[in-house]
Structure 1
Amino acid sequence: MVDIATRVHNHNWKIDPIVRSLIDTDFYKLLMCQSIFRNKPDTNVTFSLINRTKSVRLADLIDEGELREQLDHVRSLSLKRGESTWLRGNTFYGKRQMFRSDFMEWFEALRLPAYHLEKRDGQYELTFEGKWPEVMLWEIPALAVLMELRSRAVLHDMGKFELQVLYARAMTRVWEKLERLRQIPDLKLADFGTRRRHSYLWQDWCVQALMEGLGTKFTGTSNCLIAMKRDIEAIGTNAHELPMVYSALANSDAELAQAPYQVLADWHEEHDGNLRVILPDTYGTEGFLKRAPDWLASWTGIRIDSGDPAAATEIAIKWWKERGEDPTKKLVIFSDGLDVAEIERLYAQFHGRVRVSFGWGTMLTNDFRGLVPGDALAPFSLVCKAVSANGRPTVKLSDNPNKAMGPATEIARYKRVFGVGKQVAEELLV
């Protein structure tokens, strides 16, 4: 077991670079990248870092030189032979050779493209521009670098024993959560914590704790490097990025209305089985399902990622019934801002009505609330999103208006096209 406190105290990033591999990323990014490589390889996109918690002034906390050093290190990475062998030869979701040879040859030669970094009003403006398959792979490393540099800045002046006590308290907190979770019969839970983790070493520790504490109730991790290292399942499907970019490329309102379904038609050609999971909330869950083509009803299930998760699940159950499908055979993956109490509540409400599963993120891999003075390690909402495609702005509406993004005029247009009415704002923690 790694002595995390000692490694943090030594402050030697050359031993512990924040991102140590191109597959230190979420599995869904690689699955989407292959689909984009096949269907939209020449689309030009811009990704941008967005700190939705303005009170956390990252540019005041994080040294610009250190940030550039870490980002430059990410640009130096390439796929290692063992990583390539794992991706080419491993079985994912029961399917061998998930990643095609042409995609793997491209990925093996990849170096991430340049970045643009500026300071403005206490925040970093970090952007990436270029071909979609290349630029999209910056998202997770960029978030990991900023999140961990913030953690390192807060911990920098702590002594070794103070750090040991801090991590002992955080470990105890995780274990107490697992003791509650393992009381849930038939629990299925995966680690989704890469995007806003405290650090790589901490996420790896949390995964090992899940393996021992939950046993077969733990289904795997979204992090490819940890999945390979710990010989567990890599978990993931697709994300909002796909419909956001496809929609930005639409040339008319009619094309815009069909864009989210075209995404899934392309995905349908690429994958089957458990990878056929709908993410319906990009432009409103209820409207998406109401207008969805019949063939989507036969898919494995849906992932709930914004708004009231219980309300969205009830909408999905009603939709499946109306389409002649048995909801008890459908998978519902809850993945928005989960912690133990919410997992317990949702399990109790929907177990037996659907196949319940959970993707546990920030409150697994970055719950240091109240453990340092001023609560300076409290989790915050940092995202890295596609903000334009071929020069056109992207839009996300979400089931929670606090997560909406895009120019106001385009947001209004998208609400009209997708029939989004009044929405209820939910507190935005992460």
Structure 2
Amino acid sequence: MAKLSSILDNDFYKFTMQYAVVKLFPKAQARYRFINRGKHKFPEGFAERLRESIADMASLRLSKEEKFFFASKCSYIDPTYFDFLQGYRYDPEEVHIEQVGADLTVTIEGFWYRTILWEVPIMSLICELYYEMSDDVRVDDETVCQIVRDKMAKYDKLNITIADFGTRRRHSYAVHDLVIDTLKSNPSKTFIGTSNVHFAMKYQTTPIGTHAHEWFMFHAAKYGYKMANLLGLEHWSDVYRGDLGIALSDTYTTEVFFKQFDKKLTKLFDGVRHDSGDAIEFARLTIAHYESKGINPRSKTIIFSDGLDYEKVAKIVAFCEGKIGYSFGIGTDFTNDVGLTRMNIVLKMEEAKPEDGDWTPVIKLSDEPNKHTGKAEEIKIAKEVLNIKD
């Protein structure tokens, strides 16, 4: 049975957002829904196996060693949060799973500060179980490691930095472990860390991340679309006071983001993260934005993280070199390059209920229209409010 062995087997940005939610929005509630972008067909009995794996998560707890490691890496987070996390337990009753034929439904509901941790581990469990229950066989362990070594030999020549962002759609825990072990043993300084806090601890590297789309999606539910980016970043800076300064730019399209990314925030944040749409066009827009604010783009950084492989990375480096700082978060191409079809799934916030508010549908307007999430009528409303043309 696919199972998690550590509560830290999750992406760093989930914990950093949880800390901010506990501080600012402790009474907010959220609903999430699984989206099967790849139209994968799930085998008979899949839902039952997934329920068993999720039920097993109720026993996970933060150990003293994990608490010490996590706190030592995050001096900007209050000690009270790590005490809170030590007492946190997953509640499987917050997760509802149904299967009709080959179609899978997964929904999550509860207080946002609690449910925020479910997304990444559930996605990783769905992937691992899907491959477990398939007759297809992945390449052997040595081949997995050699694939990573071959990629890093090419990346090293680009003189760049790379982090692993591959937890959500990894083939399995075992493959992820092999990948991080291989990356960490790479003799160059190309590999700088991982989004997975458990593996950061296991391999004594840096946990990397800031916030995700749901941070801004909630702010839209509470404050409206026109204020979502601005107040989302203001609140983030209120909590972290200059740390964790990479801003996610594409929750409501990059064009809208830069209109709301005022000079104060542009100076305060270290850079931005690209997660959808054409990477070169995004770099052009970003450079132009910094120049329009009188800021040298070379003092800022773009973190590229959208479906990267070597060819995409090489093109980005060729364009950005000498113009702006850059680094890369590589996910599925590291953790699910094992000779099988890679899964294309997401699990996104669907509705939010701010304190003293009503349940409100939330959406994401990616720079890539195929990545939009949310109800069509709400997407239409958001486009009208934000003056986004199709």
Same structural fold, with TM-score higher than 0.5 when normalized by the shorter chain? yes
1:401 aligned residue: 369
On the 8 A contact 2:69/2:201 being kept in 1, the answer is yes
CA distance in 1: counterparts of 2:152 and 2:60, whole angstroms: 35
CA distance in 2: counterparts of 1:121 and 1:287, whole angstroms: 41
Secondary structure of 2:133's counterpart equals helix
CA distance in 1: counterparts of 2:260 and 2:96, whole angstroms: 40
Secondary structure of 1:71's counterpart equals helix
CA distance in 2: counterparts of 1:363 and 1:313, whole angstroms: 22
Secondary structure of 2:348's counterpart equals strand
Letter in 1 for 2:381: R
1:28-427 equivalent positions in 2, closer than 5 A: 28-54=13-39, 56-58=40-42, 60=43, 63-88=46-71, 90-92=72-74, 96=75, 98-113=76-91, 114=93, 115-154=95-134, 166-185=140-159, 187-213=160-186, 215-250=188-223, 255-273=224-242, 275-298=244-267, 299-368=269-338, 371=339, 377-390=340-353, 391-422=359-390
**Number of residue pairs aligned between Structure 1 and Structure 2:** 382
Q: Percent identity?
A: 32
Secondary structure of 2:188's counterpart equals helix
2:5 aligned residue: 20
Secondary structure of 1:25's counterpart equals coil
Quote the offset at 1:242 in angstroms: 0.4
Q: Would the alpha carbon gap of residues 344 and 359 (structure 1) be closer, same or farther in structure 2, given more than 3 Å must change?
A: same
Q: Would the alpha carbon gap of residues 225 and 155 (structure 1) be closer, same or farther in structure 2, given more than 3 Å must change?
A: farther
Letter in 2 for 1:351: E
CA distance in 1: counterparts of 2:97 and 2:112, whole angstroms: 19
Q: Tell me the TM-score normalized by structure 2.
A: 0.94
Letter in 2 for 1:257: K
Provide structure 1 residue ranges, at least 5 long, that are not aligned to the other structure: 1-12, 372-376, 423-430
Q: Would the alpha carbon gap of residues 53 and 62 (structure 1) be closer, same or farther in structure 2, given more than 3 Å must change?
A: farther
Deviates more, 1:312-321 or 1:264-273: 264-273
Letter in 2 for 1:57: K
| Cα RMSD after superposing both structures | 1.7
Q: Would the alpha carbon gap of residues 153 and 121 (structure 1) be closer, same or farther in structure 2, given more than 3 Å must change?
A: closer
CA distance in 2: counterparts of 1:275 and 1:169, whole angstroms: 36
Quote the offset at 1:272 in angstroms: 4.2
Quote the offset at 1:174 in angstroms: 2.1
2:356 aligned residue: none
CA distance in 1: counterparts of 2:27 and 2:84, whole angstroms: 14
Q: Tell me the TM-score normalized by structure 1.
A: 0.85
Quote the offset at 1:214 in angstroms: 5.2
Secondary structure of 1:137's counterpart equals coil
Letter in 1 for 2:287: I
CA distance in 1: counterparts of 2:157 and 2:255, whole angstroms: 33
Q: Would the alpha carbon gap of residues 205 and 62 (structure 1) be closer, same or farther in structure 2, given more than 3 Å must change?
A: farther
Secondary structure of 1:348's counterpart equals helix
Q: Would the alpha carbon gap of residues 30 and 175 (structure 1) be closer, same or farther in structure 2, given more than 3 Å must change?
A: same
CA distance in 1: counterparts of 2:176 and 2:117, whole angstroms: 20
1:6 aligned residue: none
